[in-house]
Homo-oligomer: A and B are copies of this chain.
Amino acid sequence: MRTVAQQITAAPRAMPMIRSEPVSQPTSGVRCSSCRFKGVCLPGGLEPGDLLLVDSLAFAQRRLHEGEPLFHEGEDARFIYAVHIGTLKSSILLRDGRQQVTGFQVAGEIVGLDGVANGRHASSVHALEASQVCTIHFAALCDLARCNAHVQRLITRLLGREIVREQEHMALLGDSDARHRLEGFLLNISRRMRERGYSASEFHLRMTRAEMGSYLGMTLETVSRSFSALQRQGVLEVDRRHVRINDVHALAQAHGAIN
């Protein structure tokens, strides 16, 4: 239990609370409870009562054009963002000036969590297509957590999942074979598409070969050649960014088992 006094003194000192600050055009008032992605997104696993609590934050929306940055490495990090429509890409700057892609985010996924450690973003995020995000004032969310253990657990899980996701990425990068890395990437996309009600076997990639390559630790030429090789093997059919996996289950089996 906490006292009212603690609640008052502790809250505003950490971060100034500016709730629906108009970063761009605030299409204010989007609520999780009526969002089609509530199952997989921020409030995933929350009970109806707690969901209403999160609704009270009434996330402002922000639209992004293709290529537009959401935020840059080093910038002030007061918000985290949930992808509502579209696809984003996260990246970090390497010491030699190259950009390393650390992730791709689709609807229902969260970006900006790298900023909660010290209030500065450690990565940059750009839109790969016309997109829309919910801007979530992190301090406000934390305030909710103070009144509600479920919301507190939510934040912890959110950050914890991000840690696991990054570990999975490292496991992917640990694969010594370029073709296998691409397979793993495509299977990952496939699963996320399925979880969102889209086809697991046929989808449209939103990123360039170079961006895939950066994410997977290879050059764009090697990505291209790996696609061609997988097509020759009859694993998939690829036409530019459109991919059809012939047998997702078989591929997953083969990928998991064989070297």
Contacts and interface: CB of A to CB of B under 8 A. Distances in A.
Contact of A149 (B10, B100, B163, B169): B10
A4 interface: no
A152 interface: yes
Given A10-B149, A146-B149, A256-B95, A174 B116 contact: no
Contacts of A38: none
Nearest to A100: B174
Contact of A170 (B149, B173, B255): B173
A116 B149 contact: no
A217 interface: yes
Contact of A163 (B94, B114, B256): B114
A149 B14 contact: yes
Contacts of A7: 149
A94 B95 CA distance: 28
Given A96-B259, A170-B92, A259-B96, A160 B102 contact: no
A100 B171 contact: yes
A163 B167 contact: no
26 contacts: A2-B147, A6-B147, A10-B148, A11-B149, A92-B167, A94-B171, A94-B174, A94-B175, A95-B256, A98-B174, A100-B174, A117-B157, A117-B163, A122-B164, A142-B152, A146-B149, A146-B152, A152-B152, A155-B156, A156-B159, A159-B160, A159-B162, A159-B163, A163-B166, A166-B166, A166-B170
